Amino acid sequence: MNIGLRIFLGYFLIVALAALLLARVFVAEVKPGVRQAMEDTLVDSANVLAELASDDLLAGRINDGRFARHVRALRGRDFGAAIWGFGKRASNYRIYVTDARGIVVFDSNSVDGRGGDLGKNYARWNDVYLTLRGRYGARSTRSDPKDPESTVMHVAAPIRDAEQRIVGVLTVAKPNSTIAPFIARSQAVVLRWGGVLMGAALLVGLFAAWWLSRQLGGLRRYASAVTAGERAVPPKAVGEFGELGQALETMRARLEGKQYVEQYVHALTHEMKSPLAAIRGSAELLEHADQTQAGGAHGMAEADRARFIAIIRSQGERLAQMIDKLLALAEVEHRQRLEQPESLDIAALAHDAAAQCAPRLAQAQLTLLIGAAAGLPRVHGDAFLLRQALVNLIENAADFSPAHEPIELRLEAHADELRIEVADRGPGVPEYALPRVFERFYSLPRPAGGSRSSGLGLCFVAEVAALHGGRAVLANRTEGGAIASLVLPLR
C-alpha cells in the first residue's frame, strides 16, 4: 500500500474517532444538560407556586380558590413569545396539588373544578412519595408507554403549614418534547459544523498525505535511479526532506566517486599494459641494438630502427589520447545534469565539428558530406559536449572507412526528436560486438591492420546523449558499412 494512502487512512481514522466522540458527547451530555436546566427551572417554579397555593390548601379551597382561578385563567393567555426563533403562545405546564395522603385535590387539567385526575391517589409516584417524606421529589414518566419521546418531567415542592409541617405537595409537570426543537436545532448546528470541520480536516489530511507521499516518492525515485546507475537529480524538497535529499546526494557522490576511481584505475592500468608493453619492447630492442653496435658488431637495420621508433611514437600518442579522452569522459560521467543548457543551432555545430576533423579526414583521403534538412529546430544543450560527440562519431567513422569513400553526416527532425546520423561504407560491426560498442575501453580492430582505438569515443557519445536526455545507437547498414545515431529530444 502506498505510504501516502496509509498516512491518509490513519489520519482519516483519527478524524472519524474524533467525530464519533463528538457525537457521543452530544448525546451523553448536551441532551441531559438541557433537561437538567429545565428541571432546575421547574424546581424554582414548583416552590414559588407551592408558596402561593399554601393559603388556599390550608383553608380547604384549593380547587376553587383564588390560586385555582388564576392557574386556570392561564389557559386563555396568549404568551406571544419568540424564544430564539421558536414561537410560544401558551403554557405547557400541568400543575396538580395533593394532600398529605397523596390524594389529588387540584389539577390544572380539570375544567371548572371537575375532571382531570381529581381524587386519584398519587402517593405511589416518586414526586409525591418522596416530597411527603421531606425529600426532593421528581420523576420522568412516559405519557405513552410505547413512545420513548413522550416523557413528562414532574418536579414537586412541599406545601407547609405555620409549624412547617408538610400538609401537601404541589407538582409542576412539563413534557420533555417542549425542548425537543431546541435540542434538534442544536444537534443540527453541531452536526453541520462538525461535518464542515470534518471535511476541512479530511482535506487538510489529504493534502498532508499527498505532500508527504510526494516528498517521499521523489526521494524513493531518486534512490532507485541511483541504485540503477542512472543520472538523477535530488528532488526539490523543503525541511527535513530537503536535508535528507542533500544527504543522499552527498553520500551518492562520495560512494560513486570512490567506486569511479577504483573502476577507472583498474580499467586504465589494464588498457595501458598493451601500449606500455609495445613501448618497452621496442625500447629494449633499440637499446640492445645500440649496445651491439657499440661492441663492434653489426647493428640494427635502419628500417627496423625507424619501425620501432614509430611504434614507440604511436603507442605514446595512443596513451596520450587515452588519457585525454578518459579525462573528458570522466568529466561527462561525473555530471548529473546540464548546468546551463543553451538554445543551439545543430547544423552550425555539425559544420564546426567537420572543420575540426578536416585535417584528419584529408590525411586519410576521406570526404565528409553534410546533409541538413531545411528549417531544423533548435535544441537545448551544451555546445562543447555536443560538438565533441560529433567529432568522436566522425573520427570513429573515419577509422573504418575505405580511402576515397565519403562519410555522410545527416541531420533530421522526426516528431519530438532530432536525429544526427554519421554513416560510413566500411566493413560494418560484427553482430557479437553491437551490444558492447558503447562500453568503456571496448574497441574493434581497424581495417588494414590499424591499431585499436582507446575505446572511449563511443562511450563519450553515449554519456553526452544521456546527459541531454537522448540516446546513442550504432547499427549496420543494409548496403554495407555502419551508421551511428545521436538522438536528442526537442523540448
CATH architecture classification, 3-185: 2-Layer Sandwich (3.30)
CA 194/CA 196 separation, integer angstroms? 5
pTM value?
0.44
- Determine the pLDDT at residue 4: 61
Return the residue matching grid coordinates 558499412: 481
- Determine the pLDDT at residue 358: 86
User: Dihedral, CA atoms, 457, 461, 464, 469, nearest 10 degrees?
Assistant: -160
- Determine the pLDDT at residue 135: 94
Q: What three-state secondary structure class fits 474?
A: strand
- Determine the pLDDT at residue 346: 86
- Determine the pLDDT at residue 139: 92
Q: What region does 413 belong to: left with phi over 0, alpha with psi -120 to 50, or beta?
A: beta
Domain boundaries, the chain: 3-185, 231-337, 338-491
Is residue 390 within 8 A of residue 353, CB to CB? The reply is yes
- Determine the pLDDT at residue 295: 58
CA 216/CA 230 separation, integer angstroms? 19
Is residue 350 within 8 A of residue 409, CB to CB? The reply is yes
Among residues 177, 157, 169, which one has the least CA distance to residue 42? 157
- Report CA 346 to chain centroid distance, whole Å: 39
Q: What is the CATH number of domain 231-337?
A: 1.10.287.130
Helix (H) or strand (E) holding 419: strand 417-423
How long, in residues, is the chain? 491
SS3 track for 336-371? CCCCCCEEECHHHHHHHHHHHHHHHHHHCCCEEEEE
Cell numbers that stand for 109 in this block: 387539567
- Determine the pLDDT at residue 243: 67
CA 104/CA 168 separation, integer angstroms? 10
Fold matches, 231-337 and 338-491: no
Q: What is the CATH number of domain 338-491?
A: 3.30.565.10
Q: What three-state secondary structure class fits 189?
A: helix
Q: Per-residue confidence of the chain (491 residues) as pLDDT tens digits?
A: 566 666 767 777 777 777 777 777 766 666 777 778 888 989 999 999 999 999 999 999 999 899 998 988 888 787 777 776 777 777 888 999 999 999 999 998 888 778 788 999 999 999 999 999 999 999 999 888 888 888 899 999 999 998 999 999 999 999 988 877 777 777 777 778 777 877 887 787 778 777 777 777 777 777 777 666 666 666 676 666 666 766 766 766 665 554 545 555 555 564 565 567 667 777 777 776 666 666 555 556 777 777 777 767 766 765 665 566 556 555 555 555 666 778 888 888 888 888 888 888 888 888 888 888 778 888 888 887 888 888 888 888 888 888 888 899 999 888 788 888 999 888 888 888 888 888 876 777 776 655 556 667 788 788 888 888 888 889 998 888 899 989 888 87
Sequence-distant (≥ 6) Cβ neighbours of residue 340 within 8 angstroms: none
Sequence-distant (≥ 6) Cβ neighbours of residue 386 within 8 angstroms: 344, 346, 349, 379, 464, 468, 488
Is residue 411 within 8 A of residue 347, CB to CB? The reply is yes
Q: What region does 351 belong to: left with phi over 0, alpha with psi -120 to 50, or beta?
A: alpha
